[in-house]
Structure 1
Amino acid sequence: MIQVNAMGDACPIPVIKAKKALQELGGAGVVEVQVDNEIAVQNVTKLGRESGGEVTSEKTGEGAYVVRIQMGEGKEEQIAQAEVSCDVTARKNKIVVVSSDRMGTGNDELGKVLMKGFLFAVSQLDELPQTILFYNGGATLTAEGSDSLEDLKGMEAQGVEIRTCGTCLDYYGLKEKLAVGTVTNMYSIVETMAAADVVLRP
């Protein structure tokens, strides 16, 4: 494993350091990049994916993030061609609104499988949403026991705001079991939806 300290570095330095580390790796292994802002997380993540790696990120503290790039063999050409860029506008005001713990109508069990797949797919977008809002049955997806917590926490680590309706958590008895994101209210939900450029609904 190669560890890269890019704390305090302005773009494109974290991306340049990450690319050099990937080239030094010269094969299978892990490059771990420490950065101090969400934009750097996005840019290093983009580089890692363009290089053919599997990328995860984690918020380790206030203003502290770690991006891990897992590489396989034979990716040298992809690494060389990966673009070093500073895309500070990568995430437009795009939000996702989740009002149920299942997707579509018909079979409830299938609907839950589809919802898990939907949230995973959102986490893999090149341009992540700015905010994901959860209300009514969707509130259960941010609480303990949810199958989507790993995907949601991964997006939160990259700067996505995860907000869940407080009234809904109270109704389902989950206020003390919220496992990711913050509690919000209906005024804030309406305000966020009204200001969005794009609203995605499963």
Structure 2
Amino acid sequence: MKELNARGLDCPKPVVKTKQALEEEDKVIVTVDDQVQAENVAKLAKKMNCKVSTLEEENYYKLTIEKLADETTEDKEDSQGKVYFITSATLGEGAEELGNVLMKGFISTLLNVTPVPNKIIFINSGVKVPTLNQEAKEHLKELEAKGVTILSCGTCLDYYGLEEKLEIGNISNMYEILDSLNSNGVVKV
């Protein structure tokens, strides 16, 4: 068993260090600073086919992670399908108003393409789309209902003060984002 103190580490270091520890050990205890880090570490552990129990203390979280089997439970879909990587609140360069119209049109059109994408990832000012763009949010809810995974960068949401406004999809981290980009056909928008 290995104990890993990941307190004070910025995203995605707690996830990366946990992954490295789980590659060496069958049981790992990880201590992180906050709930978002705890959720990110737990998400990775579950993807690696581990059982996770979380203990919330006054100013930290302690996760006990145990491997269940040698195989990972990574979704088969993760190795197939397109991933749309949206890095801006607007589509294209030029007039912001036009870029907003184009982004709404882009998101709504994704409902009509076959197959729908596997994932849509929002980073930087792109996180404004699933939080502030009301028309796009409605279309994203429909895409999510069709099985599309919607991920928004937690660091970016925090930077823009939008974490509380996220109603669609999940808060993600750089490790999960890069893992998705590395194992799928990526379309940068």
TM-score of the aligned structures, taking structure 2 as reference length: 0.56
- Residue 190 of structure 1 aligns to a residue whose secondary structure is helix
1:137 corresponds to which letter in structure 2? S
Contact 1:144 1:179 in 2 (8 A): no
Q: Percent identity?
A: 40
The structure 2 residue matched to 1:119, chosen from 95, 107, 129, is 107
2:139 corresponds to: 151
Q: Which runs of 5+ in 1 are unaligned?
A: 1-88
Question: After superposition, what is the alpha-carbon deviation per residue over 1:153-184, rounded to whole angstroms, capped at 9, x for unaligned?
Answer: 00100110000000000001011110100000
1:175 corresponds to which letter in structure 2? E
The structure 2 residue matched to 1:101, chosen from 81, 86, 89, is 89
2:91 corresponds to which letter in structure 1? M
- Structure 1 residues 155 and 161: alpha-carbon distance in aligned structure 2, compared to 1, 3 A threshold: same
Q: Which has the higher helix share?
A: 2
Q: Which runs of 5+ in 2 are unaligned?
A: 1-76
The structure 2 residue matched to 1:188, chosen from 159, 164, 176, is 176
Question: After superposition, what is the alpha-carbon deviation per residue over 1:84-107, rounded to whole angstroms, capped at 9, x for unaligned?
Answer: xxxxx9x93211110101011111
Question: After superposition, what is the alpha-carbon deviation per residue over 1:44-99, rounded to whole angstroms, capped at 9, x for unaligned?
Answer: xxxxxxxxxxxxxxxxxxxxxxxxxxxxxxxxxxxxxxxxxxxxx9x932111101
1:160 corresponds to which letter in structure 2? V
- Residue 135 of structure 2 aligns to a residue whose secondary structure is coil
2:49 corresponds to: none
Distance 1:143 1:111 in 2: 16
Distance 1:144 1:109 in 2: 14
Distance 1:153 1:118 in 2: 14
Indicate whether 1:200 and 2:184 are aligned.
no
1:131 corresponds to: 119
- Residue 148 of structure 1 aligns to a residue whose secondary structure is helix
Distance 2:97 2:132 in 1: 19
Q: CA deviation at 1:146?
A: 3.0
1:69 corresponds to: none
Q: How does 1:33-182 map to 2 (within 5 A)?
A: 92-182=80-170
Contact 1:92 1:129 in 2 (8 A): no
Distance 2:85 2:111 in 1: 14
- Residue 97 of structure 1 aligns to a residue whose secondary structure is strand
Distance 1:131 1:117 in 2: 18
Count of residues in Structure 1 that have an aligned counterpart in Structure 2: 113
1:200 corresponds to which letter in structure 2? V
TM-score of the aligned structures, taking structure 1 as reference length: 0.53
Contact 1:101 1:141 in 2 (8 A): yes
